Amino acid sequence: MLHNRANGKELKEKLRHSGEQRTTISFYKYHKIEDPQQFRNELYLLFNSIGVMGRIYIAHEGINAQISVPTENLELFKNKLFEIGFLKGIRLNLAIEDNGKSFFKLKILVRKKIVADGLNDDSFDVTNSGVHVNAKEFNQLAEDKNTVIVDMRNHYESEVGHFKNALCPDADTFREELKIAEQLLANEKDKNIVMYCTGGIRCEKASAWMKHIGFKNVFQLNGGIIEYARQVKEQGLENKFIGKNFVFDERLGERISHDIISHCHQCGKPCDKHTNCKNDGCHLLFIQCNECNEKYNGCCSAECKGIIELPPEKQKEIRRGINKGRQVFKKGRVEKLRIAN
């Protein structure tokens, strides 16, 4: 079995009631993989055998993984992972706020790229990335008036948390983010450009691209927000990140500071709790406070609330043939979310 065919809702419910201790981990590596499909199959058999769950993308250019591992198998997982030549000694980002409920199944997909960036990798040296800096060095650069800090994540990520004084481009995807960042920084090519993202993978490519198009002093936060938060805590450094770090798993966020910098998309109250609309024909990602969650039964609108109250067969009939990709792509940018009554 090279795929998990079990019912997703049943697996989520099983995980919710499970008392098993699990550790959430992310890692990535740009490396030439000759046969991504074969590597994918071998990795699935290995990870499935030790209880790994999560989402992994594999392409000719490398691997991008967000997973959870049974805590009792953590050392076994590391040993097995490090036996893979190009992954030996790779940095593993451990979740900051981890309840062990991040993933409910193992999914490994072969993609054209491990991060969709829209770039032609043959046109520049993707290994010529920016200078990697740790938390202490990042803080020092942040105090320099000649520094511009750039958030290389999407708008719905930076909306709930970002570094102080960071430039947060209003983008829906990383592909858009690169173009917008390039435009916004057009007159800043002689300044210190410090880039950051969740775990570092987007900045590897983005910083190399920025250097390619003429930026001279390009830096990237090594290990991203996740590693920064860990170092700040361990070393007693000033935390310059405010709010939550959005994560792409069932948790949808981990708190870095106590600041709440965003608002409920429905009533406008201070809130930074993301959720997905419970209507299977929508699944829109948006910010919803507890009061609105109760009022709309976990939905993004009165319309969707009405739909989930219908019999299951009627719901299937309504969503049959509907392409919900646009709503998911826009991540909450639809008119029906604007301060509902």
Distance CA 53, CA 249 (A): 11
Using alpha carbons, select from 280, 285, 290, 268 the residue that is nearest to residue 319. 280
Question: Closest Cα partner for 168 from 191, 190, 148?
Answer: 148
Residues near 38 by beta carbon (within 8 Å), at least 6 away in sequence: none
Distances (CA, A) of 336 to 73, 161, 233: 45, 24, 40
197 catalytic residue (yes or no): yes
Rounded CA gap, 287 and 275, in Å?
6
In terms of Cα–Cα distance, which of 285, 282, 276 is closest to 332?
285
Tell which residue, 295, 253, 256, 260, has the closest CA to residue 275. Answer: 253
Q: Which residue among 197, 264, 271, 282 is the active-site one? A: 197
- Contact between residue 255 and residue 244 where contact means Cβ atoms under 8 Å apart: yes
Determine contact, residues 266/299, Cβ cutoff 8 Å: no
Six token digits for residue 145: 């008036």
- Dihedral sign, Cα of residue 206, residue 41, residue 66, residue 273: positive
The structure tokens listed for 159 are: 């909306």
Residue 73 in tokens: 């198998």
- Give the residue numbers annotated as catalytic, written as ranges: 197
